[in-house]
Chain A
Amino acid sequence: MKKRIFFNFAMIAALFFLPWWILAVLAFAGVFFFTPYYEVLAFGFLADLLYNTSSNYIWGMSSFVAAIFIFIAMTYFKKIVR
């Protein structure tokens, strides 16, 4: 549980201060190592609210859609490799 909280702080720091691709890498890692890592959806949602605009791709919710994709894809990937 402590690891998960620490990881969530790292995700928050990445969301606000680090390049977007680091957040993406952390999101993949989070879904892979924590079961089930629902927080990734919240971070996708927050990323859209903070940085995206509704006039952009996919009505400005591309981060959230990407988070859903990461969540589903990594969940299946985990089933395959474990």
Chain B
Amino acid sequence: MIHRRTNSYDKFFSIRNVVLGVSVATALLVLLYTPARNAVTQAVFVVAPGIWKSDGTAIEVKDSFWAVFRTKQSLVEENSYLLSELSRMQAQVLDRNLLAEKVAKLDEALGRAHGDNRVVAEVIAGPRQAAYDTLIIDAGREQGVTVGDEVVYAGSGLVGTVVEVFDSLSKIKLYSTPEEDHLVLAGEDRLPVVAVGRGMGNFTAKVPQGSGLKIGDNIISLEGGFILGTVSFVEEKPAEPFDRIFFRVPFNVAEMHSVEVVKTKQ
């Protein structure tokens, strides 16, 4: 009787491994080839909103049950909500200061009409779920959102830009995405600097020594005059020609519940 020996070659090329290899190769192809990726993402985003919204329903059911036993837990939640509201209000105060400046400038340049068309959208998934600085919002093609539209929070806190649009959803890439560069204006003198994202609403930038930038100075976007952040730390190294500033958005990006999409196409 002749027995065939299974060697390592046969084992490696077993049907199971071949199927696995083909599946992995197909997945890589889909992720790399943009039209295929968009098509599959569209299909996924048909089902995904239902799942995300079920979370809200589940929370409502849970809340109505536990409302009977309101204890410390409810106070903690209320505190968390109030903190997020405070963060939003702080951003709005900055917004008001900026608006005052804007009005003064507009008075100087009479006749310059300004106004943008905005869509308010709810954040259904954000950096809390994802390891990337992305947001999923419930406004899409049907609401007139297009790729490249800017997204702001609390009126003028610049958050990111629309990178993918679906029928009723959009994907936002935050400006603070690690290693992403953006030209911005820093401080009262509007010093142009390149802000580099560090994730979760944090940025860093190199400024010339003696630039006069200090903690609390605003960082403004080049177009639209939106607030990108406030300086939280200035690292000075006398041996180097540049100082390094660290700044962050004046709110918690993980606590954003609604944002506004500034439509570029009216």
Q: Given A49-B40, A64-B31, answer yes or no on A55-B173 (Cβ-Cβ < 8 Å).
A: yes
Secondary structure at chain A's binding surface: helix, strand, loop or mixed? helix
Contact A38 B28 (CB under 8 A): no
Asked if B22 lies at the interface with its beta carbon under 8 angstroms from chain A, I say no
Asked if B8 lies at the interface with its beta carbon under 8 angstroms from chain A, I say no
A12: chain B residues at CB < 8 Å are 51
A30 to B172, CA, bound (A): 31
Scoring A16, A47, A68 by chain B CB atoms within 10 A of each residue's CB, the highest score goes to A16
- Distance (Å) between the CB of A31 and the closest chain B CB? 13
A61 to B164, CA, bound (A): 16
Chain B contacts with A in 172-209, Cβ cutoff 8 A = 173, 177
- Distance (Å) between the CB of A73 and the closest chain B CB? 15
Q: Given A53-B173, A59-B31, answer yes or no on A20-B131 (Cβ-Cβ < 8 Å).
A: yes
Contact B132 A50 (CB under 8 A): no
Question: How many inter-chain residue pairs (CB < 8 Å) link A and B?
Answer: 76
Asked if A52 lies at the interface with its beta carbon under 8 angstroms from chain B, I say yes
Contact B130 A51 (CB under 8 A): yes
B263: chain A residues at CB < 8 Å are none
Q: Given A16-B55, A55-B173, answer yes or no on A49-B129 (Cβ-Cβ < 8 Å).
A: no
Q: Given A16-B125, A55-B173, answer yes or no on A41-B23 (Cβ-Cβ < 8 Å).
A: yes
Contact A17 B173 (CB under 8 A): no
B51: chain A residues at CB < 8 Å are 12, 16
A34 to B103, CA, bound (A): 63
A51: chain B residues at CB < 8 Å are 125, 129-132, 134, 136, 171
- Distance (Å) between the CB of A55 and the closest chain B CB? 7
Provide the A56-71 mask, 1 if CB < 8 A to any CB of B, else 0: 1001111110001000
Size band of the interface chain B makes with A = 20 to 34
- Distance (Å) between the CB of B134 and the closest chain A CB? 5
Contact A53 B163 (CB under 8 A): yes
Provide the B1-27 mask, 1 if CB < 8 A to any CB of A, else 0: 000000000000000000010011001
A41: chain B residues at CB < 8 Å are 23-24, 27
Provide the B107-147 mask, 1 if CB < 8 A to any CB of A, else 0: 00000000000000000010011111010100000000000
A22 to B, closest residue via Cβ: B129
A20 to B, closest residue via Cβ: B131
Q: Given A50-B48, A64-B31, answer yes or no on A17-B24 (Cβ-Cβ < 8 Å).
A: no
With A20-B130, A52-B132, A56-B177 given, can you name 4 additional A-B contacts, CB distance below 8 Å?
A38-B20, A49-B44, A54-B31, A68-B24
Q: Can you pick out 9 interface pairs between chain A and chain B where the beta carbons lie within 8 Å of each other?
A: A19-B128, A38-B20, A49-B41, A51-B132, A52-B130, A56-B177, A60-B31, A61-B28, A62-B131
The 5 A-B pairs with the shortest beta carbon distances in the complex, nearest first, are A51-B130, A61-B31, A20-B131, A49-B41, A53-B163
B residues neighboring A (CB under 8 Å) = 20, 23-24, 27-28, 30-32, 34, 37, 40-41, 44, 48, 51-52, 55, 125, 128-132, 134, 136, 163-164, 171, 173, 177
A residues neighboring B (CB under 8 Å) = 12, 15-21, 38, 41, 45-56, 59-64, 68
